[in-house]
Amino acid sequence: MEFQDLIAARRSVREYDTRPVPVELVMEIIADSIRAPNARNAQPWGFIVVTNPAMIRRLSDESKKNILWDMGDNPSSPYAVYRPILENGDFNVFYTAPCVVYIAGPRDVRTVAVDCALAAAYFMLSSADRGLGSCWVDLGSVIRDPDLKREIGLPKDHVIVASIALGYPVRIPAMPPRNGPRILKVVE
């Protein structure tokens, strides 16, 4: 797809049909993602691909539990607005996505957050270019249980930066409104 059409077509998708995403296709998207620029070409990103529905459910439950714990009774938590869905046992933070991809890197790499975010931008664009929908689901990233970490292959020294739901969209939602560009200053 032409880049201009692609950035217009890419949406955060929250309704997926049941069609599974072949792992081979996810690997192609990951191969695109690692072409992203990154600090000192250190490529600190690692990828975890989950297509097992029971595991996706466990990851959602674990993350919801931890976010609720962190939030406590703090009404000014940035997550406070999500309390009702976090407390709803039926709610899956990944919606009905048949695939979840984590992008993670070593905690002690100073640029790990921005490097992995750059790869995530490529990941989401590449997904849209291939007719898939995706959504960065921050609510699904707070995984702390050591057994679960081991089961998904997350090294002890790694932090999950991006948590992305992936699947075939039921429909392409409208683009949420954008503010005009906030130009702080032009120094000519």
**Shortest distance (Å) from residue 65 CB to its own copies:** 19
Question: Which residues within the stretch 98-117 sit at the binding site for its own copies (CB under 8 A)?
Answer: 104, 110-111, 113-114, 116-117
Q: Which of 161, 163, 166, 169 binds its own copies (CB under 8 A)?
A: 161
Distance between CA atoms of residues 173 and 47, nearest Å: 27
Tell whether residue 4 is a contact of its own copies (CB under 8 A): yes
Residues 124 to 153 in contact with its own copies, rule: CB under 8 A:
124-126, 129, 135-136, 138, 151-153
Query: Applying CB under 8 A, which of residues 18, 19, 76, 78 lies at the interface with its own copies?
Result: 78
| Amino acid at position 167, single letter | G
C-alpha distance from residue 126 to each of 9, 16, 119, 188 (Å): 12, 17, 10, 36
* 182 belongs to the binding site for its own copies (CB under 8 A): yes
Stretch that binds its own copies, among 22-30, 67-75, 90-98, 165-173 (CB under 8 A): 22-30
CA distance 44 to 42: 6
Backbone φ and ψ of 5, nearest 5°: -70, -35
What token pair was written down for 32?
A: 């695109």
User: Should residue 93 be labelled a site residue for its own copies when binding is judged by CB under 8 A?
Assistant: no
Least distance from its own copies to the Cβ atom of residue 91, Å:
17
CB 54 within 8 A of CB 86: no
Give the separation between CA 71 and CA 67, rounded to whole angstroms. Answer: 6
The region of 66-74, 88-96, 120-128, 165-173 touching its own copies under the rule CB under 8 A is 120-128
At residue 105, φ and ψ (nearest 5 deg) are: -155, 170
Report if residue 184 touches its own copies, rule: CB under 8 A. yes
Which helix (H) or strand (E) segment holds residue 15: the answer is: none
Return d(Cα 135, Cα 167) in angstroms, integer: 9
Residues 34-63 that bind its own copies (CB under 8 A): 34-37, 39, 41, 43, 45-52, 55
Interface pick for its own copies out of 67, 86, 97, 118 (rule CB under 8 A): 118
Q: Rounded CA gap, 133 and 164, in Å?
A: 10
Shortest separation between residue 115's beta carbon and its own copies, angstroms: 8
Report how many residues bind its own copies under the rule CB under 8 A: 71
